[in-house]
Amino acid sequence: AEAVADFFIEEHNETALDALLREVEPQPMEAVANDSPVAGKTVVFTGSLERLTRDEAKAQADRFGAKVSGSVSKKTDLVVAGPGAGSKLTKAQELGIEVISEDEWFRRTGQG
């Protein structure tokens, strides 16, 4: 802790930090949509997604208050299955988990 305090005592360190902070543009966090029909649900994406990349799908689910998992379990609430879905789809069906298409995902999340 003393070393940190000593760092800020040095005028050139403070000047460098101030210059660095002037270059930073904080981005506002997007609000989580707690009123979304998928809020609080655990979602698994499987198969080929045609409208989203995996990263986009995860980010979108996060924005809508859902938790994305990479595997299907009894804790999974919803599986979004695209073409070529395999063992995750089979397991979801065996466990009686709701399976929807990517288009249905967009409808449920109010995107079309």
Q: Per DSSP, which regions of 18-87 are E strands?
A: 42-46, 67-68, 78-81
pLDDT digits (tens, 9 = 90+) for 30-61: 655 677 899 999 999 999 999 999 999 999 99
For 105, residues 6+ apart whose C-beta sits below 8 A from its C-beta are: 80
Task: Give me the pLDDT at residue 110, please.
Answer: 83
Task: Give me the pLDDT at residue 31, please.
Answer: 59
Report in angstroms the alpha-carbon separations of 45 from 12, 15, 52. Answer: 50, 47, 11
Task: Give me the pLDDT at residue 111, please.
Answer: 79
Set out the domains of the chain in order of their start, with CATH numbers.
Answer: 42-108 (3.40.50.10190)
